[in-house]
Amino acid sequence: AQSVTQLGSHVSVSEGALVLLRCNYSSSVPPYLFWYVQYPNQGLQLLLKYTSAATLVKGINGFEAEFKKSETSFHLTKPSAHMSDAAEYFCAVSDFDNFNKFYFGSGTKLNVKP
């Protein structure tokens, strides 16, 4: 089955600093990848998704992710962190045999310091 690994369960950055959240996938064929954000006591919101049309994907709230096949990675970045970015971030991949089934990474909690 497909899987994603998120390195770093907690990431802390200062406001205005670069945000880098890591996601590596396990697949021998191009995966279908998604990044979601979850604020406390809320549901998940889609930030962006990889559709194979472009390796650099731009999402909402200034986030973007770059698909790197050679590194089997889909890391999420934002040039300048804002206090409102503090949340839990999940990388996910959809199953090849059943596109309705998602496999989520373990999540990374982003803390933004003033």
Binding site for other proteins (CB under 8 A): 32, 34, 36, 41-46, 49, 51, 90, 94, 96, 98-102, 104-107, 109
With 0-12 / 13-18 / 19 or more C-beta atoms within 10 angstroms meaning exposed / middle / buried, residue 17 is middle
Closest CB to other proteins among residues 99, 114: 99
Q: How far is the CB of 46 from other proteins (least distance, A)?
A: 5
Residue 45 to residue 96: CA distance in whole angstroms? 22
Nearest C-alpha neighbor of 87 from the set 71, 60, 111: 111
Q: What is the DSSP letter of 111?
A: E
- Nearer CB in complex with other proteins: 10/83: 10
Q: How far is the CB of 58 from other proteins (least distance, A)?
A: 15
